[in-house]
Amino acid sequence: MVKQTQNPLSSHFRSPKLYTQIPSKGRFYTADVVEMPSNNELPVFPMTAKDELIMRNPDALLNGEAVTQVIKSCVPNVKNARKLMSNDIDALLLAVQVASYGDDIEFSAACPECGESTSGHVSGDATLQAMSTLDDSYTFEKDGLTFEVKPFTYETTIRAGITNFQSTRSLQSMAELPDDLDKLKLFNESFIKLAKLNFDIIVESVNSVSFQDDEGEQVVVTDQAQIREFLENCESSIGKMIEQKVNDISKIGIPKESTFECEKCNKEFTAPVALDPVNFSTAS
């Protein structure tokens, strides 16, 4: 008797439900991060039962493991989701949600006029189609220096999320401390940790700093240690300009706002529609 090697159910395995581009179009990645098809459209599969379970795990959501595992499962062309730019992660999360639960996605927002919570619906496919794309590079000049800034990665987003979570927990526990000096110490520790994180993000966002020396030669600095030392010793205005540039870049990709009509006062308003991975657990 011939031993059966192929699963007889294989013909019923899931298949791609949609194909999508990403804001970077894969231009900044090597093949060990993402394998881009020739048409720049990544196949997206619906989530499995295992994927849905991991998206309900709070710890896995906090440390980024849930998102990286689900993207690996549903977008197999992505080999290392942590190295993707956050702009691309947002688009892929939306694509996975559409592939898994359909095009109609419900969001809610508070009316700025009366404060009433109002529900609205967004077309996931239309949002993906309206996606803006990243430029090849982003630069600005200041005091004779040219700064090339890059988008931050999902790995940086994870680190920021964990630090903010830890800071929030510390501040919540501060109320239980009887001594005001202990409260002040805890507050200062949290503030310093957040300030260090924000500075690290600024440093990591600088791809290069270039200028012309006294002989007219172009000098390009890409060493992260040298860039960090420079940013620790330059005027604060440069750091603010880098931060603003990074914030502007982070808005590129899928539209992050939608129009709502208040069910109570009938006022029409625009509000952010953040694609929170936690919503996946209630989308089905």
pLDDT digits (tens, 9 = 90+) for 92-102: 999 999 999 99
Residue 281: pLDDT band (50, 70, 90) is very low
Across 7-21, 87-101, 174-188, least confident range: 174-188
DSSP-derived secondary structure for 217-282:
-EEEE--HHHHHHHHTTS-HHHHHHHHHHHHHHHT-SS--EEEEE-TTT--EEEEE----GGGHHH
CA torsion sign for 80, 81, 87, 88 is positive
Same domain, 143 and 211: yes
Q: What is the pLDDT of residue 1?
A: 52
Residue 180, both tokens: 């005001």
- Report whether pLDDT(165) > 90: no
Same domain, 76 and 118: yes
- Report whether pLDDT(3) > 80: no
Average pLDDT over residues 96-119: 88
Q: How many residues does this entry show for the chain? A: 284
Q: What is the pLDDT of residue 182?
A: 73
Residue 266, both tokens: 């009938």
The domain total for the chain is 2
Please tell me which of 5-9, 177-181, 244-248 the model is most confident about, judged by mean pLDDT: 244-248
In a domain, 8, yes or no: no
In a domain, 205, yes or no: yes
Same domain, 119 and 190: no
The strand order across the sheet containing 138-142 reads 138-142, 145-149, 206-212, 218-221
Same domain, 129 and 25: yes
Average pLDDT over residues 107-118: 85
Q: What is the pLDDT of residue 284?
A: 45
In a domain, 184, yes or no: yes
Average pLDDT over residues 223-247: 95
Average pLDDT over residues 209-219: 94
In a domain, 236, yes or no: yes
Average pLDDT, the chain: 89
Give pTM, 2 decimals.
Answer: 0.84
In a domain, 218, yes or no: yes
Residue 79: pLDDT band (50, 70, 90) is very high
Same domain, 166 and 120: no
Q: What is the pLDDT of residue 8?
A: 87
- Report whether pLDDT(282) > 60: no
Pick the residue with more confidence: 183 or 40?
A: 40
Same domain, 129 and 214: no
Same domain, 143 and 129: no
Same domain, 40 and 122: yes
- CA–CA gap between residue 105 and residue 128 (Å, rounded): 12
Q: What is the pLDDT of residue 168?
A: 79
Same domain, 73 and 174: no
* Dihedral pair phi/psi, residue 18, rounded to 5°: -160, 165
Q: What is the pLDDT of residue 277?
A: 64
**Cβ neighbourhood burial of 35 (10 Å; 0-12, 13-18, 19+):** middle
Domain extent, residue 83, equals 13-133+258-283
Same domain, 120 and 31: yes
Q: What is the pLDDT of residue 41?
A: 96
Q: What is the pLDDT of residue 98?
A: 95
Strand-pairing partners, residue 272, are 257
Residue 52: pLDDT band (50, 70, 90) is very high
